[in-house]
Amino acid sequence: MKDLISISDLTVQAIADIFKIADHIKEHIKPLKEKTIVMFFPESSIRTRVTFEKGIHQLGAQGILFPSSTLDKKEAVQDVAGYLDNWSDAVIVRHKDIEKIQDFALYSKNPVINAMTSHNHPCEILSDLYSLSKIRRDYLNDQYLFVGASGNIGESWKVASKLLGFDLVQCCPPGYEIDGITVINDIEEAICGKDIILTDSIPAKDQDNFKSYQINKRLMHLANDNAHLNPCPPFTRGLEVSADVISSDYFVGYPFKENLLIVQQAIILYLMGF
């Protein structure tokens, strides 16, 4: 395969290969020396951009950064991709419009990696799954609960669950359902028997509807023993999660996201044939 636009672009074996590369990432000593990777990121990006930039540097490649808005000018993406093929060896794009990234992948001769769209967020979810595999022996047999509205995070978890075969249930108020998965509207019913609790940021316009869906320590006590809370950043204490649950052992913590660096490096190396 050449590109990563969605987790559905991968096979189960491809994900296993990426995780294997991630396991041995420190053995790769600047394998991308004299390679150039072009990135398109908005100014608001923090974790994804930092880890991609640092990862590219550690692999020995040169990273060249543009704002995502560069792709919104009148020049066709086909022409941007055609010119960049002369000088770049891979392209990483974070842009709200997935069609722009799909067009880039269609016309680029080099790998194109989706760093996030309003439709999906494949690298983030692959990193979370890799991190879970390190702390949960049977992470694909765990029961997953996504608390939040249909959007890029929930959709990516759905695709991953369908591909890898783990059980995923959504909990949300009526009207926010993800098509194709089981939905339970009552949070106390939904969280019972779950091992991995996932959340997403709640848009300001929807916050009133999600007030009773905040994950706190009381609710986590209803989940299975040794359950973990993995809120997708940026999260807001007092909104989708309580302050006390973030300070508890349920929260997988900031080091959990450390693997975003090596998984993204592994994705780059995998797509570039290393």
CB atoms within 10 A of CB 116: 25
Cβ count near 157 (within 10 Å): 29
Residue 235 half-sphere exposure toward CB, CA atoms < 13 A = 25
Question: Residues, the chain, total?
Answer: 274
Residue pair 124/232 in contact by the 8 Å Cβ criterion: yes
Query: Is the CB of residue 7 less than 8 Å from the CB of residue 126?
Result: yes
Provide the residue type at 235 as one letter: F
Per-residue pLDDT of the chain (274 residues; tens, 9 = 90+): 689 999 999 999 999 999 999 999 877 778 999 999 999 999 999 999 999 999 999 999 999 999 999 999 999 999 999 999 999 999 999 999 999 999 999 999 999 999 999 999 999 999 999 999 999 999 999 999 999 999 999 999 999 999 999 999 999 999 999 999 999 999 999 999 999 999 999 989 999 999 999 999 999 999 999 999 999 999 999 999 999 999 999 999 888 999 999 999 999 999 999 9
Residue 132: predicted pLDDT: 98
Residue 196: beta bridge partners?
Answer: 144, 228
The neighbouring-strand residues paired with 199 are 147, 231
Q: What is the pLDDT of residue 27?
A: 79
Cβ atoms of residues 47 and 260 within 8 Å: yes
- pTM listed for this prediction: 0.95
Query: What's the pLDDT at 28?
Result: 77
Predicted local distance difference test score (pLDDT) of residue 29: 77
The pLDDT assigned to 26 comes to 76
Q: What angle do CA 104, 20, 61 make, to 5 degrees?
A: 50
Placement of tokens 């760093």 in the chain? 115
CA distance 188 to 171: 10
pLDDT, position 176? 97
Question: Token match 């695709």: residue?
Answer: 159
Residue 12's pLDDT is: 97
Residue in 197, 85, 111 with CA at minimum distance from that of residue 147:
197
Residue 16 C-alpha from the chain's centroid? 16
User: Between helices 122-135 and 259-271, what is the axis angle to 10°?
Assistant: 120
Supply φ then ψ for residue 170, to 5 degrees: -105, 145
Q: Give the DSSP letter string of the chain.
A: ---BSSGGGS-HHHHHHHHHHHHTGGG--STTTT-EEEEEE-TT--HHHHHHHHHHHHTTPEEEEEEGGGGGSSS-HHHHHHHHTTT-SEEEEE-S-HHHHHHHHHH-SS-EEEEE-SS--HHHHHHHHHHHHHH-TTGGGSEEEEES-SSHHHHHHHHHHHHH--EEEEE--TT-PPTTSEEE--HHHHHTT-SEEEE-PPPGGGGGGGGGG-B-HHHHTTS-TT-EEEEPSS--BTTTB-HHHHTSTTB--GGGGGHHHHHHHHHHHHHTT-
Assess contact for 104 and 113: CB atoms under 8 A.
no
